[in-house]
Amino acid sequence: MNKKIYVVKASGDKEPFNKFKIISSLVRAGTPIDIAEEVADEVEEKVYNGISTREIYNICLKILIKKYPRFAAKYDLKRSIMILGPSGFPFEKFFANILREYGYDVENNLIFKGKCVEHEIDVFAKKNGKRIMIECKHHSEPGIYVDLKVVLYTYARFLDLSSYFNEVWVVSNTRFSKEAVRYGKCMNVKLIGWRHPKDMSLEKMIEDKKLYPITILKSVKYDVIKRLVEKNIILVRDLWDKSIEEISIETGLSYRIVEKILNEAIAILKI
Amino acid sequence: MNKKIYVVKASGDKEPFNKFKIISSLVRAGTPIDIAEEVADEVEEKVYNGISTREIYNICLKILIKKYPRFAAKYDLKRSIMILGPSGFPFEKFFANILREYGYDVENNLIFKGKCVEHEIDVFAKKNGKRIMIECKHHSEPGIYVDLKVVLYTYARFLDLSSYFNEVWVVSNTRFSKEAVRYGKCMNVKLIGWRHPKDMSLEKMIEDKKLYPITILKSVKYDVIKRLVEKNIILVRDLWDKSIEEISIETGLSYRIVEKILNEAIAILKI
């Protein structure tokens, strides 16, 4: 190509198209380098002047879904969690389901009477005699940090509820500010978020056991996803214990759509 | 008047004009009942169909400023504090000045190294051996409450700084949620806000010593106020120690404007 191709970023700024950026974003999301290069080559053929970064992302994702669905899931994990809605499909329910797969006894949104006041606790988890109070912080936009104040008020709440719990966590789909991390370490408040901590980050917990949220499915529209969620199918693997018939009856979705969903789920989970 | 007069509220809803509402809002703000009735009569002559509540408020205020400036200040106090800006004229500086008049040693925006992390403290006040950490919460809109989380994180911060302070306050220009009040009482976090607590609410602290913010002045535009604030004239009474000449030289404002300001200040403080 001789013509210079410019890409429009989310900020509205333009920059020259750069194939290496695509390769590195794919590799960062766990795609093997050879596949990343193959995808980037294909994307390069499809870009046009004035294309948005969002469109490039979507083209990448489509190629991956078609050819390497297993890596598509990883590539799109962050966004799948971002679109967990505040209504109907809350992050705390998603995280509770993850913990369940890790052998925790879990309950959502319980109210506890503290020394001073009542508190609603997002997730109450139990394992090996530990009783854990978990505050969940979901952000629908990237780039937002969980700040010190969140960890401070969670700790104060934990103190007020000290007769019920012996451990406290703050869990988020984004990152934590440096101050928040320092305070968490110092006061023994465990922080789990995006790429933090390295040995037990949110995406590691998800990927190690393939606990992808149902929002990762790309073959169906969002209102179909919502119907699944209403029936408590929150992780892709929740589809697994059921037959096409069962899912169709439970959700009212047609056989054709349920089959489409299951095919994508199989590809993602590679079972 | 035979024609029905409707008033447009901030919400966009309409309601029939009701003189009694004006009287009661004036009385609530400390205007004697006979003056309130007189003002409401005058307002009634000026209202027209489709007038906004905001305009009615402004008419009331103008009448008060002209005839009873002392009550004008009280009537407009809440709004004068609302318009304290985040930049240049922060609420924490205003509150620090109030405390100074109550005999406290006060400093703004100091950073303290806590057990775990550093914290910036809005106001650090000392009196009779008490060392007080004060968190300020300013809202620019009415109807917002300071919620439990604010009091929780302030308490956790106080714990982290326990080697410096032996008392902790949360101060706001609005009210506190019931939960916040309950927790504050229980954990000995003093809460000072609008009409809370009765014996030492923000407006009582202000009115008892006539510590009106400079934003209460109505005879000049906001950029004039800003110039005064830049020169650390934050309370109306800060004008008092200076001559017209001094104020004019310090601020670069003309004699005519400074005179206008001082005349209004005299009326408000009734000295």
Assess contact for A89 and A45: CB atoms under 8 A: no
Of B153, B185, B187, the CB nearest to A153: B153
* Cβ B97 vs Cβ B235: under 8 Å: yes
pLDDT higher at A9 or A143: A9
Search chain B and give the residue with CA nearest A117.
B183
B115, B116, B151, best to mutate vs chain A, most A CBs in 10 Å: B116
Is the pLDDT score of A70 beyond 80? no
- A155 is written with which tokens? 């700790």
Residue range A148-160, pLDDT digits in tens: 999 999 999 999 9
Kindly list the distances between the CA atom of residue B185 and the CA atoms of B62, B135, B190, B192, in Å, as whole numbers in the listed order.
Answer: 41, 16, 7, 12
* Closest partner CB to B116 (pick from A156, A160, A187): A187
Residue A201 has pLDDT above 60, yes or no: yes
**Taking CB atoms and an 8 Å cutoff, what residues of chain B touch A121?**
none
> How many A-B residue pairs are in contact by the CB < 8 A criterion?
48
Residues in B whose CB is inside 8 Å of some CB of A read 115-118, 148-150, 152-153, 155-157, 159-160, 179, 182-183, 185-187
Q: What is the token pair recorded at B211?
A: 């510590």
Residues B99, B106: contact at Cβ < 8 Å?
yes
State pLDDT tens for residues A105-136. Answer: 999 989 999 999 999 999 999 999 999 999 99
pLDDT given at position B88: 58
**What is the share, in percent, of chain A residues with pLDDT greater than 90?**
58
Q: Which of B115, B152, B179 sits opposite A156 (nearest CB)?
A: B152
Give the least confident one: A162-171, A201-210, B168-177, B259-268: B259-268
- Residue in chain B nearest A152 by alpha carbon: B153
Q: Tell me the residue type at A80.
A: S
β-strands B167-172, B189-192 pairing:
parallel
Please tell me the distance from the alpha carbon of residue B225 to that of residue B234, in angstroms, as a whole number: 9
**What is the predicted pLDDT for the residue at A80?**
86
Q: Are B242 and B263 in contact (CB under 8 A)?
A: no
Chain B closest-CA separation from residue A132 CA (Å):
19
**Cβ neighbours of B150 in A, within 8 Å:** 153
Reported as a pLDDT band with limits 50, 70 and 90, residue A1 is very low
pLDDT confidence of residue B263:
87
- Give the β-pairing of A145-146 and A175-176: parallel
Q: Does the distance separating the beta carbons of B116 and A182 come in below 8 Å?
A: yes
Contact A207, A235 (CB under 8 A): no
CA atoms within 13 A on the CB side of A154: 29
pLDDT of the residue at B182: 98
Q: Encoding tokens for residue A258?
A: 């349920």
Spell out the domains of chain B, with CATH numbers in brackets.
6-75 (no CATH), 91-208 (3.40.1350.10), 213-269 (1.10.150)
- Taking only the tens of pLDDT, chain B with its 271 residues reads 446 899 998 778 899 999 999 998 898 888 899 999 999 999 999 999 999 988 998 899 889 888 887 788 778 888 888 888 766 568 999 999 999 999 999 999 899 999 999 999 999 999 999 999 999 999 988 778 999 999 999 999 999 999 999 999 999 999 999 999 999 999 999 999 998 999 999 999 998 898 999 888 877 888 888 888 888 888 998 898 888 999 999 889 999 999 989 988 887 777 4
Distance CA A52, CA B11 (A): 39
User: Which chain A residues have a beta carbon less than 8 Å from that of B116?
Assistant: 182-183, 185-187
Structure tokens at A119: 């508190």
> Which residue in the set A116, A155, A182 is minimally distant from B187, CB to CB?
A116
Measured between beta carbons, the chain A residues lying within 8 angstroms of B185 are: 116
Nearest to A156 among B118, B155, B179 (CB): B155
Tell me how close the Cα of B12 comes to any Cα of chain A, in angstroms: 28
Q: How many angstroms away from the CA of B52 is the closest CA of chain A?
A: 36
* Optimal mutation site among B153, B159, B177, interface A, most CBs of chain A within 10 A: B153
Helix, strand, coil share of chain B (percent; to 5)? 50, 20, 30
User: Which chain B residue has the Cα nearest residue A147?
Assistant: B153
Most confident of A153-162, A204-213, A259-268: A153-162
**What pLDDT, in 10s, does the model give residues A36-45?**
999 999 999 9
State chain A's mean pLDDT as an integer.
90
Is B149–A148 a contact, with Cβ atoms under 8 angstroms apart? no
Measured between beta carbons, the chain B residues lying within 8 angstroms of A155 are: 156
Is pLDDT of A91 > 60?
yes
